[in-house]
């Protein structure tokens, strides 16, 4: 959540920082601001709303400088407003900061600053405390002041600070929130995510937890908590900046839906050896390691959690080992049974989700082995795991995750196949059958996406609905959760999903004339049961949209509209079944006039609890 960009060089900081903020706007778009160092002063401009509002202010009151820091905000403390927008300054405007995350003890610090130093606050944010705290400790050395301020603060955050008296430097600090530093030619950069810098640099430093960074025009110096210099290998970004552009699509979300065949192909193809067997690059689990494991936990949030629910089915079926799936924000607080015989699988698109990181650290402290499934190379979850299995989805910019979900599923299938084969639990014939089904998915996804028009026409019939139910059985119940989440994320329709067998235990009381019910019926062995569920809701006047495999035409007699997915094994239907639901959510949101890539109150990377 929130985006930070910093730059120091010969000049033109405004354009570079604004450009970087635009590329990070998916991280937060409640307000935006910039602080520029010029002529011995800090020049501040900020505005509530999108970056376009900030640009208008800069047109009317232009400023520039050789260095500066910028921010896009996702509001936590205080509503979106000009006053609450970052950057924040100390009382005389000689210190400016931008801040991602939460200062947990800000109220205590605020009271201390008011009582002991007579400071007047201008905003409702926890972030302004940081600016005043650094200002109180500032004695001519910004690096010292940042260290002193950090010693007083509790929470998870990334902070970048500048001082008018030291125009040759930017100081930044990372504690449980992402931060990178980019190495330029005669200039250097800071950012909270790689896309902000790709236009300018491809060589970066990944800043580790509890590290402080001093950035000057001539270099970047990293310090640990003890003020010791840290030697750090550079990280080279391999993916193309063009991958983060829309390529003619109306929205990033639609582009990323259509990139799923490629993402699945890349994720699978990179893990198959010459004999067509699964090779888990980045994972060193041997047969002996697996034989010591007696329990698997999958922890994740949101869309990644739904992928984990499908992963549970695959691992339990192919490996015959008990699997628990937990929401990461709950896992750490329920004292789970974790020890050295536990395998914890963390799933996160960004690899920076704070709740998932906290769960990882909790399990590691108890002796668990950590395997992560992430999309961002070098992310915090990846760096703190024993084994890393990357999805190859490419950058995902839209807040509503799509291709990350399907590539996460592909990774979980590969992990389950490998574990089942390595332990000898999964027969060779079954191993080959499922692998063949997985390899066929990219082509089937392309065929499915070619029929987008059918989904668009159904969306026109139902986009004014304000309540929608999703039901399914088996893995369809997990996909129903994801379909419901996509719809509510971007269309703001009151949508929720349940296992179809639970209908009679309360929810059916809400079904009445013209209630919209989306029924997932892609599991052959459960197909007849879903037909019965359709009968139940139709008897109460529901309008039914069904999802089924090609060939299961009996469903047309009961459903009002049907989407078909290509024939495939029950085990892999989630990869195909979710795509019509993604498209349906997209077209409904578009017809409702919603801001699809930047839905209200949401941000792409959730780096606060």
Residue 241 has pLDDT above 70, yes or no: no
Q: Which of 449, 478, 505 is the last residue of a domain?
A: 449
Same domain for 145 and 178, yes or no, is yes
Same domain for 234 and 88, yes or no, is yes
Is residue 604 in some structural domain? Answer: no
Q: What is the rounded distance in angstroms from the CA atom of residue 375 to the CA atom of residue 397?
A: 12
Is residue 600 in some structural domain? Answer: no
Is residue 106 in some structural domain? Answer: yes
Q: Are 558 and 544 in contact (CB under 8 A)?
A: yes
Same domain for 90 and 13, yes or no, is yes
Is residue 609 in some structural domain? Answer: no
Q: Three-state SS for 564?
A: strand
Q: What is the pLDDT at residue 80? A: 82
Q: Are 348 and 356 in contact (CB under 8 A)?
A: yes
Q: What is the mean pLDDT of the chain?
A: 91
Q: How far apart are the first and last CA of the chain?
A: 11
Same domain for 189 and 259, yes or no, is no
Is residue 175 in some structural domain? Answer: yes
548 pLDDT band (50/70/90 cuts)? very high
223 pLDDT band (50/70/90 cuts)? very high
In 225-279, which residue ranges form alpha helices assigned H by DSSP? 252-258, 260-269
**Nearest Cα to 205, choosing from 179, 241, 238, 174?**
179
- Strand-pairing partners, residue 295, are 342
Please report, for residues 59, 75, 299, the alpha-carbon distance to residue 25 in angstroms, rounded to integers and kept in the order given.
20, 13, 27
Is residue 117 in some structural domain? Answer: yes
Instruction: Just list the catalytic residues.
Output: 2, 604
Is residue 218 in some structural domain? Answer: yes
Residue 341 has pLDDT above 80, yes or no: yes
Same domain for 383 and 440, yes or no, is yes
Q: Could you tell me the strand order of the sheet in which 203-206 lies?
A: 41-48, 31-38, 67-73, 3-8, 188-191, 180-183, 203-206, 235-236
**Nearest Cα to 344, choosing from 376, 377, 311, 379?**
311
Overall average pLDDT of the 370-388 stretch: 89
Instruction: Give residue 290's domain range.
Output: 245-449
Same domain for 383 and 488, yes or no, is no
Same domain for 60 and 141, yes or no, is yes
Same domain for 325 and 372, yes or no, is yes
Q: Which of 449, 478, 499 is the last residue of a domain?
A: 449
Same domain for 412 and 509, yes or no, is no
**Nearest Cα to 395, choosing from 376, 423, 415?**
376
Overall average pLDDT of the 343-370 stretch: 92
Residue pointed to by tokens 């027969």? 427
Is residue 607 in some structural domain? Answer: no
Same domain for 460 and 440, yes or no, is no
Residue 244 has pLDDT above 80, yes or no: no
Number of compact structural domains in the chain? 3
Task: Render pLDDT for 113-144 as a digit per residue (tens, 0 to 9).
Answer: 999 999 999 999 999 999 999 999 999 999 99
Same domain for 296 and 399, yes or no, is yes
C-alpha 233 chain-centroid distance = 26
242 pLDDT band (50/70/90 cuts)? low
Task: Render pLDDT for 64-109 as a digit per residue (tens, 0 to 9).
Answer: 999 999 999 877 778 888 899 899 999 999 999 999 888 989 999 9
CATH number of 338's domain: 3.40.50.10490
Same domain for 169 and 119, yes or no, is yes
Q: Where are the beta strands (DSSP E) in 13-126?
A: 31-38, 41-48, 67-73, 88-89, 95-103
CATH number of 121's domain: 3.60.20.10
Q: Which of 449, 482, 509 is the last residue of a domain?
A: 449
3-state secondary structure string across 79-91: CCCCCCCCCEECC
The DSSP code for 176 is B
Q: What is the rounded distance in angstroms from the CA atom of residue 428 to the CA atom of residue 420?
A: 10
């Amino acid at each position: 959540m929130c985006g930070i960009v910093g730059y120091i060089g010969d000049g033109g900081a405004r354009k570079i920082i604004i450009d970087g903020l635009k590329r990070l706007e998916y991280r937060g778009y409640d307000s935006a601001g910039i602080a520029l160092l010029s002529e011995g002063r800090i020049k501040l401009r900020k505005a509530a709303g999108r970056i376009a509002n900030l640009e208008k202010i800069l047109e009317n009151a232009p400023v520039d400088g050789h260095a500066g820091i910028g921010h896009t905000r996702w509001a936590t403390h205080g509503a979106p407003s000009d006053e609450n927008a970052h950057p924040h300054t100390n009382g005389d405007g000689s210190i400016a900061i931008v801040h991602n995350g939460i200062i947990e003890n800000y109220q205590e610090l605020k009271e201390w600053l008011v009582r002991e130093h007579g400071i007047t606050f201008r905003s409702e944010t926890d972030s302004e405390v940081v600016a005043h705290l650094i200002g109180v400790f500032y004695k001519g050395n910004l690096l010292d002041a940042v260290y002193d301020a950090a010693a007083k603060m509790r929470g998870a955050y990334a902070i970048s600070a500048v001082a008018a008296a030291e125009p040759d430097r930017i100081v930044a600090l990372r504690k449980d929130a992402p931060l990178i530093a980019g190495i330029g030619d005669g200039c250097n950069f800071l950012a909270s995510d790689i896309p902000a810098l790709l236009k300018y640099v491809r060589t970066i430093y990944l800043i580790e937890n509890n590290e402080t960074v001093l950035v000057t025009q001539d270099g970047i110096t990293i310090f640990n908590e003890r003020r010791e210099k840290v030697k750090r290998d550079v990280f080279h970004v391999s993916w193309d900046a063009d991958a983060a552009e829309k390529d003619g699509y109306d929205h990033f979300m639609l582009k990323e839906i259509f990139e799923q065949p490629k993402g699945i192909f890349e994720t699978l193809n990179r893990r198959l050896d010459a004999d067509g067997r699964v090779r888990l690059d980045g994972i060193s689990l041997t047969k002996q390691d697996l034989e010591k494991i007696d329990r698997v936990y999958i922890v994740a949030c949101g869309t990644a959690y739904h992928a984990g629910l499908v992963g549970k089915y695959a691992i339990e079926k192919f490996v015959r080992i008990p699997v628990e799936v937990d929401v990461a924000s709950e896992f750490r607080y329920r004292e789970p049974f974790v020890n050295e015989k536990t395998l914890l699988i963390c799933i996160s698109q960004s690899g920076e989700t704070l709740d998932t990181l906290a769960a990882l650290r909790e399990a590691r402290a108890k002796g668990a082995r950590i395997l992560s499934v992430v999309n961002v190379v070098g992310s915090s979850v990846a760096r703190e795991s024993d084994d890393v299995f990357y999805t190859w989805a490419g950058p995902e910019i839209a807040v509503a995750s799509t291709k990350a979900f399907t590539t996460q599923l592909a990774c979980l299938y590969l992990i389950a196949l490998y574990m089942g084969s390595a332990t000898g639990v999964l027969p060779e014939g079954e191993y080959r059958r499922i692998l063949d089904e997985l390899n066929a998915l990219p082509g089937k996804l392309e065929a499915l996406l070619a029929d987008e028009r059918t989904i668009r026409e159904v969306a026109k019939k139902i986009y004014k609905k304000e309540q929608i139910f999703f039901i399914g059985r088996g893995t369809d119940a997990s996909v129903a959760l994801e379909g419901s989440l996509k719809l509510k994320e971007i269309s703001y329709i009151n949508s929720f999903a349940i296992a179809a067998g639970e209908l009679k235990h309360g929810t059916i009381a809400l079904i009445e004339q013209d209630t919209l019910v989306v029924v997932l019926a892609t599991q052959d062995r459960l197909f007849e049961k879903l037909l019965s569920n359709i009968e139940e809701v139709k008897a109460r006047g529901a309008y039914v949209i069904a999802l089924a495999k090609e060939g299961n035409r009996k469903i047309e007699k009961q459903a009002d509209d049907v989407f078909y997915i290509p024939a495939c094994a029950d085990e892999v239907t989630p990869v195909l079944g979710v795509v019509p639901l993604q498209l349906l959510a997209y077209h409904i949101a578009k017809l409702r006039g919603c801001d699809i890539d930047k839905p209200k109150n949401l941000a792409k990377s959730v780096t606060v609890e």
